[in-house]
Amino acid sequence: MLTKASLLLFSCCLIPSIALAEVSIEKQIVDQVNNQLGESQDLLEKLVNINSGTMNFAGVRQVGGILTNQFDSIGFITQWVDGNEFDRAGHLVATYESTKNPTAPKILMIGHLDTVFAENDDFQSVTDVGKNRLAGPGITDMKGGDVIIFAALQALHKLGMLEQLNIKVVMTGDEESSGRPLEKSKKALVDAAIWADIALGFEDADGDINTAVTARRGSVGWTLKSSGNAAHSSQIFTDAVGYGAIFELARILNDFREQLSDTPLLSFNPGIIAGGTRLSDRGSSIIESFGKRNVVAQTAIVKGGLRAVSPEQLVNTQSAMQQIVAQHLAKTDATLVFDEGYPPMQQTQGNVDLLALYSKVSVDLGYKPVSAVNPRNAGAADISFAADHVDMAIDGLGLMGTGGHTKDEVADMTTFAQNIQKTAVLLYRLSMFKKERQKN
């Protein structure tokens, strides 16, 4: 287990002679990162210019293949986890276990290969838009983070320091649209987290280099269906006909809003809705309905998402929503079903301590302190599947920018070198911690 005391011992209490030696070594790390920066940017542009929308399996595998060769070149053992069982391209897992420093913490570094941009999207390549900015599909979310992972490890390898580390890199091929069942699609990530002591995620967080993520809200989908008695609209509200499916759906949604919308860090959104005499549900985003304005609706449906900051908040909210659903209007019925989803990444003292160490690295390198992102501003991410299995976890260490998930996605390349430097130095400092005991 890594404790706050062990972190502070290294980060705050070095005797002067050791501190001077560490400064010299860390300067070498920064110089090495800077020396290979052009090579790192070339790799970034090469990856961004390959479409790897989640369902473009060939593109995801191509990006994974390039990164596999990169990790092979610095001595990692690489594995491609085929995604056939969960209808996705698959994942890249790269492992380096030290023979010289076996008591060093085991560190999981998390990225993803896929983007939100489909194979036929017209946003396909990198463009220099000036002022140290590059536009491109997935450049911040998160091929920039993938390259930061590799570049930091490459710098340590070239300096002979990688041998002091125990590292496992997992780059998933389905972060933007997870395969199902999640038990299979996230197995490689969860297995790596069980192995690890520390998890580092390389998403772009809220786009601010002076922040990182210590807590994320989980994300769960839900589907609400209601039914009523079809009849001529002149008979609505009568004892024989009742209120119809649409009024029942409206009642439930309004009660959700009135009873739950003020809960801190909780959000729920009805994203798509339809109702009428007949419905045809064609998947997560398309529902066709038929009805007439003078006919009481027989059926209605709404699909939405729920975000909670802790497992307890999620369970309590789901229970409250089910209780609201059960209070039917006359002659109606309704059911609420929750999908599989991303668990919350809970705020822990270990996460706070790890952020403090990362912030100190930033300050020691001449940059600004790093503070925690408000969980309200941090969407779901793969690290949520890992965080409960490690002593410490932070996310948001990737390439910063604006416009993620849109055709205006632009990277601030001034953050590229900074976060490679900070990652490499953080890994170096972590390599000197000793685990007090093995994980259970």
pLDDT higher than 70, residue 18: no
**Angstrom distance (rounded) from CA 202 to CA 212:** 10
Domain membership of residue 436 (yes or no) is no
pLDDT-based confidence at 12, cuts 50/70/90? very low
What is the b/e burial string over 344-354, where b = at least 16 CB atoms within 10 angstroms of the residue's CB?
Answer: bbbbbebbebb
Domain membership of residue 438 (yes or no) is no
Residues 68 and 177 in one domain: yes
Give the model's pLDDT for residue 13.
43
Domain membership of residue 366 (yes or no) is yes
Give the model's pLDDT for residue 16.
45
Mean pLDDT (whole number) for 338-349: 94
Token code pair at residue 181 = 């069942």
Token code pair at residue 335 = 């059911």
Mean pLDDT of the chain: 93
Residues 154 and 295 in one domain: no
Q: Where are the alpha helices (DSSP H) in 196-326?
A: 244-260, 311-325
Residues 390 and 353 in one domain: yes
Among 301, 316, 342, residue at a domain's last position: 342
How many structural domains comprise the chain? 2
Residues 103 and 51 in one domain: yes
Residues 260 and 211 in one domain: no
Token code pair at residue 183 = 């038990």
Residues 69 and 106 in one domain: yes
Domain membership of residue 33 (yes or no) is yes
Residues 212 and 222 in one domain: no
Give the model's pLDDT for residue 283.
78
Residues 251 and 393 in one domain: no
User: How many CB atoms lie under 10 A from the CB of residue 196?
Assistant: 26
Give the model's pLDDT for residue 11.
47
**Angstrom distance (rounded) from CA 64 to CA 5:** 39
State if pTM tops 0.85: yes
pLDDT-based confidence at 17, cuts 50/70/90? very low
Mean pLDDT (whole number) for 383-410: 97
Token code pair at residue 221 = 């989908």
Give the rounded percent of residues in the chain with a pLDDT score beyond 90.
89
Give the model's pLDDT for residue 10.
45
Q: What is the 3-state secondary structure (H, E, C) of 18-70?
A: HHHHHHHHHHHHHHHHHHCHHHHHHHHHHHHCCCCECCCHHHHHHHHHHHHHH
Give the model's pLDDT for residue 21.
63
Residue 349 neighbours by CB under 8 Å, 6+ apart: 4
**Angstrom distance (rounded) from CA 119 to CA 338:** 30
Give the model's pLDDT for residue 7.
52
pLDDT higher than 70, residue 54: yes
Domain carrying residue 425: 4-216+345-430
Among 319, 342, 365, residue at a domain's last position: 342
Tens digit of pLDDT for each residue in 20-42? 566 799 999 999 999 999 999 99
Give the model's pLDDT for residue 23.
76
Tens digit of pLDDT for each residue in 285-308? 899 999 999 999 999 999 999 999
Tens digit of pLDDT for each residue in 249-293? 999 999 999 999 999 999 999 999 999 999 999 876 899 999 999
Residues 54 and 157 in one domain: yes
Give the model's pLDDT for residue 6.
52
Q: How far is CA 167 from CA 197, 267, 283, 388, 428, in A?
A: 10, 36, 39, 18, 12
What is the b/e burial string over 393-405, where b = at least 16 CB atoms within 10 angstroms of the residue's CB?
Answer: bbbbbbbbbeebe
Task: Give the distance between the most distant pair of CA atoms in the chain.
Answer: 89
For residue 400, the one-letter residue type is M
Q: Are 342 and 384 in contact (CB under 8 A)?
A: yes
Residue 272, sorted as left (phi over 0), alpha (psi -120 to 50) or beta, turns out to be: beta
Is residue 312 packed enough to be buried (19+ CB in 10 Å), middle (13-18) or exposed (0-12)?
Answer: exposed
Tens digit of pLDDT for each residue in 345-392? 999 999 999 999 999 999 999 999 999 999 988 778 999 999 999 999
Tens digit of pLDDT for each residue in 150-190? 999 999 999 999 999 999 999 999 999 999 999 999 999 99
CATH code of the domain in which 361 resides = 3.40.630.10
Give the model's pLDDT for residue 5.
44
